[in-house]
Amino acid sequence: MTMRRPLAKWLVILGVLHAIVVCAGFFAPYDPIEQDRKNPYLPPMPLHLLDAQGHLHLRPFAYALKLREGTFDQYEQDTSQSVPMKFFRSGAGYRLLGFLPSRIHLFGSEDARICLLGTDAYGRDQFSRLLYGGQISLLAGLLGAGCTLSIGLCVGAAAGYFGGWRDDALMRVAELFLALPWLYLLFALRAFLPLSVSPLKAFFLIVAVIGAVGWARPARLVRGVVLSAKERDFVRAARGFGATDSYLLRRHILPETSSVLLTQAAILIPQYVLAEMTLSFLGLGVPEPAPSWGNLLSNLQQYSVLVSYWWMYLPALAMVPFFLGYLGLASSLQERLEPYKIERRSPGSLA
């Protein structure tokens, strides 16, 4: 089978985006929890190619920041002091992909730090935190979706295949879960687990909670597919030849559900990343000092930050390309895998 173009396009886009986040150590110039207490709330430092005299430089540079006269938190660019960007510089140590130790960063600088998105209250580089935060948020989304889909697959297959009272019971419970407002359920479940835990524990807690909440919809979809697959001729034939239940399920029925599961994954992952963001934003998720896309934004809950340090908002926009990628992927998967289900003009698809 050949890939149709839109699907491949979205896969490439998503692949690149994820690669950047997975290799955060390389692309981020600094350690995400390294503090610089002398420089809190630095504004973003734009990169320049033209200097104040109008000369063109081939190496991008930023201007160092200095405090404006008579203020304590207003910075301005010091055009007399340029900080050239150095590529493939060695800096803080990190482990690429979790195991390859390395010190090489895509860029860095000699004297002053280049903070593309500014710094937070402790002078930590927001750009580095954004990249590292993506690892946590995206992984939470992926694992959470994995959890949900496996629960949904098991429940849906059991309900659809065995039928009878088991089907009735499971589907009643699924209905119950569908009736609960999703975010409320997420909160209620999270609420009654320990509140203050270490980042790692909190991460797995979040994944479990997010993963456990949304199983009902995929379960219903899987059940539908299994119900129709069960009655297909080749399945009946296999049964007639004496195939066991487990063989039938493994060999003939569950493969039929793969297209539903793939599409659901593309829909669920961004939704779950957003769920992690929401929980962390509200202080119910991954705690400091570990960065996540949610807790990067949580200091925006303070009025003073909102008023004076608007660039703390910039990480919120990091989600947009990922959302775009996943939305595109979901709609082209839907078109490709379930063409019979789609009306000609699907409202969920892009353009």
Partner 1 sequence: MRFFFRRLRHACFLLFGVSILAFLFTTLAPGNYFDEMRLNPQIAPETMAALRAQYQLDRPLPVRYVSWMNSVLHGQMGFSFAYNSPVAPILFVRARNTLLLTITATLIAWGIALPLGVWSAERFGRLPDRLLSWATAALLVIPDLALALGLLVLTVRTGWFPTGSMTSLDFGSLSLGGKFRDLALHMTLPVAALVLSGLPLLIRHVRAAVAEVLDAPFMLAARGHGIPRRTLLYRYALRVAANPLISLFGFSIGALLSGSLLVEVVMSWPGLGPLLLESILSRDLYVVIDGVLFSTMFLVSGNLIADILLYWADPRIRTESAAR
Interface residue list for partner 1 (CB under 8 A): 172, 175-176, 179-181, 183-185, 187-195, 274, 277-278, 281-284, 297, 300-301, 303, 306-307, 310, 313, 316-317, 319-320, 323-324, 327, 343-348, 350-351
In 192-347, which residue ranges form alpha helices assigned H by DSSP? 199-213, 216-230, 233-240, 245-248, 258-281, 293-297, 303-308, 319-337
Say if residues 63 and 77 touch (Cβ distance below 8 Å): yes
Say if residues 207 and 140 touch (Cβ distance below 8 Å): yes
User: Residue 248: in which H helix or E strand, if any?
Assistant: helix 245-248
Distances in Å between the Cα of 49 and the Cα atoms of 56, 86, 115, 238 are: 6, 14, 17, 69
Taking the complex as a whole, how short is the minimal distance between the CB of residue 237 and partner 1, in angstroms?
A: 34
Nearer to partner 1, 47 or 185 (CB): 185
Taking the complex as a whole, how short is the minimal distance between the CB of residue 32 and partner 1, in angstroms?
A: 21
Taking the complex as a whole, how short is the minimal distance between the CB of residue 95 and partner 1, in angstroms?
A: 30
Nearer to partner 1, 204 or 310 (CB): 310
Nearer to partner 1, 176 or 237 (CB): 176
Nearer to partner 1, 226 or 297 (CB): 297
Taking the complex as a whole, how short is the minimal distance between the CB of residue 282 and partner 1, in angstroms?
A: 6
**Residue 209, Cβ density class (10 Å: 0-12 exposed, 13-18 middle, ≥19 buried):** buried
Taking the complex as a whole, how short is the minimal distance between the CB of residue 192 and partner 1, in angstroms?
A: 3
Tokens of 310: 């608007």
Taking the complex as a whole, how short is the minimal distance between the CB of residue 312 and partner 1, in angstroms?
A: 9
Backbone dihedral region of 107: left (phi > 0), alpha (psi from -120 to 50 degrees) or beta?
beta
Nearer to partner 1, 112 or 282 (CB): 282
Spatial CA neighbour of 31 closest among 114, 139, 132, 99: 132
Tokens of 143: 């694992």
Nearer to partner 1, 81 or 308 (CB): 308
